[in-house]
Amino acid sequence: MIDTISSTVHEKIKSDKNNYKYDCKLSTNNEDDLQSEEFEETPLYAAVLTYISYAILCLFGWLRDFLRQSNIETKRGAIDPNASLGFVPLYQSYESFYTRNMYTRVRDIFNRPIASVPGPQFELTERLSDDYNWTYRFTGKTIRAINLGSYNYLGFAEKTGPCATESISAIKSFGIATCSTSSETGTQRYQIELEQLLTEFLGVESCIAFGMGFATNALNIPVMASKGDLILSDELNHVSLILGIRLSGASSQTFAHNDMNDLEKKLRAAIVQGHPRTNRPWKKIIIVVEGVYSMEGSICRLPQLIELKKKYKAYLYMDEAHSIGAMGKHGRGIVDYFNVDTKDVDILMGTFTKSFGSAGGYIAGKKSLIDHIRINSHANNYATSMSAPIVQQIISSLHLLNGPEGKKRIYQLADNTRYFRQKLVDMGFIIYGNKNSPVVPMLLYMPARVTRFNREMLRRGIAVVTVGFPATKLLEARVRFCLSAAHTRQMLDAALKAIDEVGTDISIRYSTRHEHRRLRDISSEK
C-alpha cells in the first residue's frame, strides 16, 4: 500500500490509456500506523432495534407456519424431502424456518447472475419474480452497474489486453484440459513455469499450485497436521481453513481475533500442560491466520505473530488469499507489507481468484515441505491439473505485476482504498478494518436496512454485496465494498454520492466517534 513503503518516492501523477490516475507519492510510516484499525462498538439503540427486528420476523414466521399447517395459507415452504422418507434431516428445523420466512423474502439481493467480465463496471442479468422470490424469470435485459462487490483488486479481470490475448493463445497451443492429475500426466510445462515464477515472486524455496483455492486449504492442512498436533486458529478464519483443520484430525483451539495476548496465553498453556488427557507434549503447534480478513477488512499482526512463533517454537500458516497482489510495495502480500523476512513464515498460502483474475491456489515455503505436499496431497493426486488458459492468465498477470504496469496498479489500489475509506468515515458511517485494506465493511445492522440499501444502490447503478445473519453475527450485518485498481476516481465519487443519498434516506450513519456530514459538505471544505 502507499504508506507501507519504507522509502520516500516522489513521482508525478500519471495517466494511462484507460484514464487510471496513479498517485505515486509514498511516505514513511511506523509499524503502529500499518496496524491502525478501527472497530467501533454497536450503538445501543441500533442493537435494540436489530433485536426487535429479528423478533418481529420470527413472530410473523411462526404465525405463517401455523397458517400453513392449518391449510389457511397454501404458499409452499422450504421443506426437507429427506424427513418424510425416514432419513436424517438434511437441515436443522430453524434453518428451514429461516429460509422460508426470512431469506426467501430478500433472495433477490443475493446471488445475482452477471452477463459480462466482473470488471470495474459490468452487466447484471435482469430477473423478476412473480411468486415472492421462490422462482425467477429472466427478462433478456441487463443492468449496467459499477462493480463494488468483486475481488478484482488489481483489475486483471479483463476481456481485452495482454492477459486475455495470451490466455486465448494458450487454448490454441495446449487445449482446455489435460484430463489427468498433476501426479500422473497432468503436469505440463506451463504449470512448471507458473510454480517457478511464483517461487521467485514470493522469495521462497519452492511452491506448488492447485486448481481450486478452497481445496488448497481444505485438502492440504491435513497433509501438514494430524492427531497429536495442536492448531491455534484465529476465530474469524475462513471456512476453508476451518474445514482443513477438522479434516486433519489435529486438536484445535481458537483465539480472539488479532488478540496476541490471548494467543500467547494459549501457546503458553499448550506447552506447559500438553495434551489435556495425557499431558504429553504436542508433536507440533501450528498458528493459522489470514493476511487480510475478507469480512472484517482487518490485517493480521504479522510482526507479533512471528515473535510469538519463534518464542514458543511454533509454526505459522498464513492464508494470503485477499492480500497477495493487493498489499505491499511489490504486491507480495502481508510479508511485503510489513517488510519481514519470508523465511519467518513457515507456510504461505494464497489464491489466484482475487488479484490475478483467474482460479486456483498455491502453497509456498521450504522445498522439503512442498515436496511432502506434492507426494501426499489429495488435491495434487486426485484432482485434475490446472487448465492452460487459467495458468496463462496467472503467468501474464505475474509478468505485468513485476513491471511498471504492476507498480501503477498497486499504487492505484492503495490510493483508491485510502480515498474511499476516508470519505465514508468523514460522512459518519461505521467502517471496520485496517485503513489500508481494500476490503471495506460498512455496518448496516438491521435486516430491513440491509435489503433496502442493496436495492437502492442498484437502482442508482451501483452493485454491492450485503451480508447478514447467519453469515455474520446477529448485530453485525453489513455491506462489504471491494475496491479495485481499475476503479477510476469518477466511479468512486459516483458510488460515494449514492451511498450518501441512500445513507440519508434510510438513516445508517451510526458512528458516535465521527461527525455525521453529507458528501457535499465534505467536498466544499477542500
Report d(CA 113, CA 202) in Å as an integer.
Answer: 35
Q: Which ranges in 103-212 belong to alpha helices (H)?
A: 162-174, 189-202
Q: Whole-angstrom Cα distance, residue 516 to residue 419?
A: 18
Q: Cell digits for 37?
A: 484499525
Give the residue ranges of DSSP H helices in 231-285. Answer: 239-248, 260-273
d(C-alpha 451, C-alpha 225), whole Å: 42
Measured distance CA(475)–CA(444) in Å, rounded:
9
Q: pLDDT by residue for the chain (526 residues), tens digit each? A: 334 333 333 333 343 433 433 333 333 345 666 777 889 999 999 999 999 999 999 999 899 888 878 888 776 555 666 666 777 776 666 777 888 888 888 999 999 999 999 999 999 999 999 888 888 999 999 999 999 999 999 999 999 999 999 999 999 999 998 899 888 888 899 999 999 999 999 999 999 999 999 999 999 999 999 999 999 999 999 999 999 999 999 999 999 999 999 999 999 999 999 998 888 999 999 999 999 999 999 999 999 999 999 999 999 999 999 999 999 999 999 999 999 999 999 999 999 999 999 999 999 999 999 999 999 999 999 999 999 999 999 999 999 999 999 999 999 999 999 999 999 999 999 999 999 999 999 999 999 999 999 999 999 999 999 999 888 999 999 999 999 999 999 999 999 999 999 999 999 999 999 999 999 988 777 6
Give per-residue burial for 197-210: e unless 16+ CB within 10 Å, then b.
bbbebbebebbbbb
- Yes or no: say if 352 and 48 are a contact pair by the CB < 8 Å rule: no
Q: Give the pLDDT confidence score for residue 90 in this predicted structure.
A: 65
Tell me, what's the pLDDT at 46?
Answer: 95
Handedness of CA 289, 293, 296, 297 (dihedral sign): positive
Domains, the chain, in order of start with CATH, read: 38-147+404-521 (3.90.1150.10), 162-402 (3.40.640.10)
